[in-house]
Structures are given as C-alpha cells and as structure tokens.
Amino acid sequence: MATYRFHDEKERRRWQNPEAILDDVGLRPGFTFVDVGCGDGFFTLPAARLVGKEGKIYGIDADAEAIDRLKEQARREGLSNLTLKVAEAEESVPCEACADVVFFGIVLHDFKDPNKVLLHARRMLKPNGRLVNLDWKKEPMNLGPPLRIRFSEEKATRLIEAATFKIEVIKNVGPYHYLIIARPKSTT
C-alpha cells in the first residue's frame, strides 16, 4: 500500500477536521471503531477520545513505523482503548461482527485488492454498523496521491455496493474529499 504522509498535522487540520468528520458519521461514546489504514492516527486518536473508555478502537496499517508512532502518542495521552496491528488490510480481520463503524480515511484507492478489503469490512461490521469511506476527489490538485490512482465517487460506490453494502450518503467534505456512508445489506 502506498502512503502519502502528511508532515504537518496543523496544516492538514486546516482542510480536514477529524473530530467533525467522526461526529458527522455518527461515532459515539461506547462504539467500536475500526480504522483500516490508520497510519499515524489522524482519525484513530480522535476516535479513541470520542468513544471513551467504554469504546474500542482497532487500528490496522502495513507501516510498522506509523503504528509505533501511534502507540507512543496513545501512551502519552493515556488512551488504553486501542488495539493496533501491523498488517496488510487484505489479510486482517481483527474482529467479527464487532464494529459500529469501519473507516477508510483516504486509503481505499491504495489497497492492492480493495474488493477483498471491503469484504473484510463487511465481516467486521455489526448488522446495523456503518462503512465510511473518506477519499480524495478525482480532480487535479496539489495535495494527495496522483490523480491516476484516485477513485471517483462512482467507482468507489460500485466497489462498495459490490461488497453487499447499501449506500446511504454521498457528499463533499471540504474542498478535497468526498464521503460515502453505507450499511450492510440484509442477507435474509
């Protein structure tokens, strides 16, 4: 998986507010949140604060150094509700039917097999849980990954629906990103 590391969190926060996004997608105290491709924890740490001691956070990333930085920051903040794992998303399902939210924060386009990753997300979600895909708009801009690898909203929607999800919301989130919220389709 390719990574597009942001060197200045304060700069990133000018165009992306993780707390507002997590609130918007319905993350609440006591929830279980899975951050797939969590990196340094730009969304993971705010999620851990939001779900509180009664909640649970799973973070998965292939970058061992990013996971180490995230562990250290969580330790400094006294956050003990995180389970972090160095793993490829295609090979990792940290829990079955446990998650209220499975979150992809600007990473779905990076996975070698996004279909497999989405099927894993389906396994992790509770029947009434939410899949959240926040990703780069497929437009020329000075930030983010190359345009050629980005997923349009339409492509991301097709992939998510193919993994047996029902799209509930598609909307713009700031100048550079779109957000898709989906729920598992009933299998009965």
- In whole angstroms, what is the distance from residue 183 CA to residue 169 CA? 10
Domains of the chain and CATH, by start: 16-184 (3.40.50.150)
pLDDT tens digits in sequence order for the chain, 188 residues long? 444 445 566 777 677 899 999 999 999 999 999 999 999 999 999 999 999 999 999 999 999 999 999 999 999 999 999 999 999 999 999 999 999 999 999 999 999 999 999 999 999 999 999 999 999 999 998 888 999 999 999 999 999 999 999 999 999 998 899 999 999 998 65
Name the strand (E) or helix (H) holding 39: none
CA–CA gap between residue 158 and residue 48 (Å, rounded):
30
Sequence-ordered list of residues with C-beta below 8 angstroms from that of 80, at least 6 positions apart, any chain: 53, 74
What are the angstrom distances between the C-alpha of 61 and each of 2, 23, 157, 177? 11, 23, 23, 21
Q: What is the pLDDT of residues 160-170, one digit of tens each?
A: 999 999 999 99
**CA 16 and chain centroid, separation:** 14
Cα–Cα distances (Å) from 94 to 90, 97, 128, 187, in that order, read 12, 10, 18, 22
CA–CA dist 123, 101 (Å, integer): 12
70-105 pLDDT, tens digit per residue, is: 999 999 999 999 999 999 999 999 999 999 999 999
